[in-house]
A = this chain, B = another copy of it.
Amino acid sequence: MKVAVIGATGLVGKKIIEVLDQRKFPVTELNLFASEKSLGEKVLFQEKEIEIGILSAIDFSKFDLAFFAVDDKISKEYIPKAQKHCIVIDKSQAFRLDKDVPLVVPEVNPFACLKHKNLIASPNCSTIQLVVVIAPLRKLAKINYVTVTSLQSVSGAGSFALEQLQYEIEKIAVGETEKPESTPLLQPIGANLIPQIGEFGKDGYTSEERKIILETRKILNEPEFPISATCVRVPVFVGHCQVVDITFDRKVTVAEVQKALTKAPGIKVYTDGQYPMPIDVLDKDDVFVGRIRHHLSDEQRISLWIVADNLRKGAATNAVQIAELVLKQ
């Protein structure tokens, strides 16, 4: 397959190139594109150096498959052109909620790939790790409610946010307490927590929280799925964590939940006082679950703790898995 990666020098673009190689995706020709800032850069793929091309000069008729790992604006501009010629897998949120664009997590709704108009969207990082866990639990018993507190690493906001955290850590290390004035994350993040990811809507929810709610509903094909979310940016480089409370419509046992998750694809379950943390999941493709327990007040309620590498399963790996699905079909 002749493959193009658009946004090849960004955090997610780089990971896509890595994952294509690691998963032995049948690439016959890899073409990499980015904005003019990256002109002249070269990237190593399977022992060959590939020069970065400029976005504005792409001829999409030369490719079978294009991964878009760019922002909404660029996706909106280029994807309509691209999908005339090749299959597009888009990481941005530009088309995720469009009715005729499948939004796919291969462990959850692979069948959604069967019908597409050359464009398939990959969900938001925080949505992906959540639905991978919710989907098998929904088969166990009807779910009456889900609340999620999503503790998100700075890499979810791109490479400038990573630089902000590193810069602030260097200041804290030497005892400088002055906070940066203008920052990609809008607030200081070093030794701080920011309860805002994205812009606020009139209802008080941030765009990130709305993504979790609306994308989960679309992927589960349940437009009224009862879920609420709070997203907090945390001073972690890579790895999103989620505290999830699930209310079922019957009593469930912890053993049932553990068994359902252990059998489900793409999940690794921790038990017996063990739990995953961000430092454990770097460059891993599974979704990690621990701290599965009953509420003390209500045996229909379960709490659990989810961790995943937001750049891998939360982005690049999910996109490549979608490509694998399309290839099979």
A163 to chain B, nearest CB (A): 13
A311 to chain B, nearest CB (A): 15
Within 8 A of B (CB), among A281-317: 290-298, 301, 303, 305
Give how many copies assemble into the complex: 2
A243 to B241 Cα, complex, angstroms = 14
Question: Does A226 sit at the interface, judged by CB under 8 A?
Answer: yes
Produce 1/0 per residue, A212-234, CB < 8 A to B.
01000000000011111010101
Partner of A226, one of B230, B241, B297, B303: B297
- The answer to whether A145 and B297 touch across the interface, beta carbons within 8 angstroms, is yes
Question: Does A205 sit at the interface, judged by CB under 8 A?
Answer: yes
Contacts of A301 in B (CB 8 A): 228
Question: Does A191 sit at the interface, judged by CB under 8 A?
Answer: yes
- The answer to whether A241 and B236 touch across the interface, beta carbons within 8 angstroms, is no
Question: Does A235 sit at the interface, judged by CB under 8 A?
Answer: yes
- The answer to whether A200 and B149 touch across the interface, beta carbons within 8 angstroms, is no
Contacts of A141 in B (CB 8 A): none
Contacts of A237 in B (CB 8 A): 191
- The answer to whether A291 and B151 touch across the interface, beta carbons within 8 angstroms, is no
Within 8 A of B (CB), among A170-218: 170, 172-174, 179, 187-188, 191-196, 200, 203-205, 213
A227 to B303 Cα, complex, angstroms = 12
Size range of the chain A interface in the assembly: 35 or more
A136 to chain B, nearest CB (A): 20
- The answer to whether A195 and B298 touch across the interface, beta carbons within 8 angstroms, is no
- The answer to whether B204 and A294 touch across the interface, beta carbons within 8 angstroms, is yes
Contacts of A195 in B (CB 8 A): 241, 243, 275, 277, 290-291, 305
A169 to B203 Cα, complex, angstroms = 37
Among A290, A294, A296, the most chain B Cβ lie within 10 Å of the Cβ of A296
- The answer to whether A193 and B291 touch across the interface, beta carbons within 8 angstroms, is no
A10 to chain B, nearest CB (A): 21
- The answer to whether A279 and B179 touch across the interface, beta carbons within 8 angstroms, is yes
Question: Does A273 sit at the interface, judged by CB under 8 A?
Answer: yes
A225 to B243 Cα, complex, angstroms = 21
Which single residue of chain B is at the shortest CB-CB distance from A237? B191
Question: Does A90 sit at the interface, judged by CB under 8 A?
Answer: no
- The answer to whether A234 and B193 touch across the interface, beta carbons within 8 angstroms, is yes
- The answer to whether B293 and A203 touch across the interface, beta carbons within 8 angstroms, is yes
- The answer to whether B277 and A187 touch across the interface, beta carbons within 8 angstroms, is yes
Question: Does A27 sit at the interface, judged by CB under 8 A?
Answer: no
A185 to chain B, nearest CB (A): 11
Within 8 A of B (CB), among A118-149: 145, 147, 149
- The answer to whether A203 and B296 touch across the interface, beta carbons within 8 angstroms, is yes
Can you show 12 pairs from A to B with CB atoms below 8 A apart? A145-B298, A147-B147, A147-B303, A195-B243, A195-B291, A203-B296, A204-B254, A204-B292, A204-B293, A226-B298, A228-B245, A232-B241
Additional 17 contacts, C-beta under 8 A, given A147-B303, A151-B193, A191-B278: A145-B298, A147-B147, A147-B245, A169-B169, A169-B172, A173-B173, A192-B278, A192-B279, A194-B277, A204-B292, A205-B293, A224-B297, A227-B297, A230-B303, A230-B305, A234-B235, A235-B235
